[in-house]
Amino acid sequence: MLKKVLFTFLFVGILAFVLPTNLSAQPYGYEGTQVCGMCHKTEKAGQQLKIWQESKHAQAYKTLLTPEADKIAAEKGFKTKAVETKECLKCHATGYDVDKSLIGTKFKVEDGVQCESCHGAGSAYKAMAVMKSREESIKKGMTFHEDKTKYCVGCHNPESPTYKEFKFEEMWKKIEHKVPKG
Ligand code: HEC
Ligand code: HEC
Ligand code: HEC
Ligand code: HEC
């Protein structure tokens, strides 16, 4: 009995210690490419929306709807269709497994690997005043890695049933979306 009480105290103590960091990491919602694209579509901004729309990432969810995908899923031993299989969705989609309260009205799971798959859920950093500062955006949930390959290898790795060796330079060129200088 005493042991149990002590254990509970210890547990609550650890929770109190751990929770604040979890809470600050958790509450951001997904907005969707259309929301990001409102500001990131002009030539001056760098046409990130168009570059993404023309990339394979925009098709990643739709790929799971193909017979080829269902065949791969079956070969892997899954009993569900590829598009209903979490083990496929985790690299081919975003926001399919979060609470509905965190999904913005314009968000579309069909957009596959989208802006927020790489840059983080944007409900708090999408405001102009925040976006203008990298530091503030990061504080409000924007993902920023100094090493660009870090964005990629979470999905481009041998866990992918169709994995091809990932050559960063070559692949980055296909999806690069810079803000033009000047
Ligand atoms: C209200 C307009 C607006 C919206 C909406 C918006 N952004 Fe931005 N974003 C900006 C501006 C302005 C900058 C400043 C950088 C620049 O264009 O020079 C910026 C910068 C960025 C950067 C670069 C940060 C850096 O430090 O290099 C990323 C990444 C980004 N936005 C992603 C997104 C994503 C993802 C979304 C959707 C969740 C989004 N933005 C929504 C206006 C916006
Ligand atoms: C597959 C991952 C991925 C996707 C999808 C993606 N980005 Fe990026 N984005 C990156 C990486 C990597 C960088 C470079 C950041 C760096 O320099 O480390 C970047 C940079 C940016 C920048 C800053 C560019 C600059 O020159 O400062 C903006 C703005 C941006 N992304 C907006 C978007 C928007 C809007 C979308 C969706 C339409 C999007 N991104 C989709 C990975 C991605
Ligand atoms: C959330 C998972 C995810 C992340 C993160 C991701 N990718 Fe992808 N990527 C995919 C998937 C899934 C496909 C296949 C899409 C399809 O064909 O349906 C793909 C396809 C691609 C393709 C097209 C392949 C080809 O041969 O033309 C390029 C290029 C690419 N990714 C580059 C990148 C780069 C560069 C990064 C990092 C900056 C990155 N990806 C990050 C999941 C991801
Ligand atoms: C670890 C991340 C990851 C997982 C898990 C994953 N994929 Fe993919 N998938 C990718 C990437 C990245 C690509 C782009 C090509 C490559 O490098 O494999 C891709 C490409 C594909 C393609 C296009 C094939 C081609 O040659 O372009 C199909 C179909 C596919 N995946 C189906 C599936 C199915 C079905 C599942 C679940 C059983 C699955 N994927 C699980 C990351 C993943």
21 found inside a domain? no
Q: Does 115 sit in the ligand 1 pocket, CB within 6 Å?
A: yes
24 found inside a domain? no
73 found inside a domain? yes
Q: Which of 33, 40, 48, 57 to mutate to test the pocket of ligand 2 (most atoms within 8 A of CB)?
A: 48
What is the mean pLDDT of the segment spanning 66-85?
98
pTM exceeding the 0.85 threshold for the entire prediction:
yes
Alpha-carbon span 32 to 109, nearest angstrom? 8
Answer for the pair 4, 12: CB distance below 8 angstroms, yes or no.
no
1 found inside a domain? no
Give me the number of domains the chain comprises: 1
Q: What is the pLDDT at residue 20?
A: 42
Residue nearest to atom 26 of ligand 4 (CA): 162
Answer for the pair 104, 124: CB distance below 8 angstroms, yes or no.
no
User: Per-residue pLDDT for 2 more than 70?
Assistant: no
pLDDT digits (tens, 9 = 90+) for 97-147: 999 999 999 999 999 999 999 999 999 999 999 999 999 999 999 999 999
70 found inside a domain? yes
6 found inside a domain? no
**Mean pLDDT of all residues in the chain?**
90
Alpha-carbon span 81 to 61, nearest angstrom? 13
Q: State in Å: Cα 165 to ligand 2 middle.
A: 22
Q: What is the pLDDT at residue 182?
A: 76
20 found inside a domain? no
Quote the tokens at residue 16: 């109190």
Q: What is the pLDDT at residue 4?
A: 56
CATH code, 97: 1.10.1130.10
pLDDT digits (tens, 9 = 90+) for 15-48: 444 444 444 455 899 999 999 999 999 999 999 9
99 found inside a domain? yes
List the domain range (segments joined by +) for residue 68. 29-175
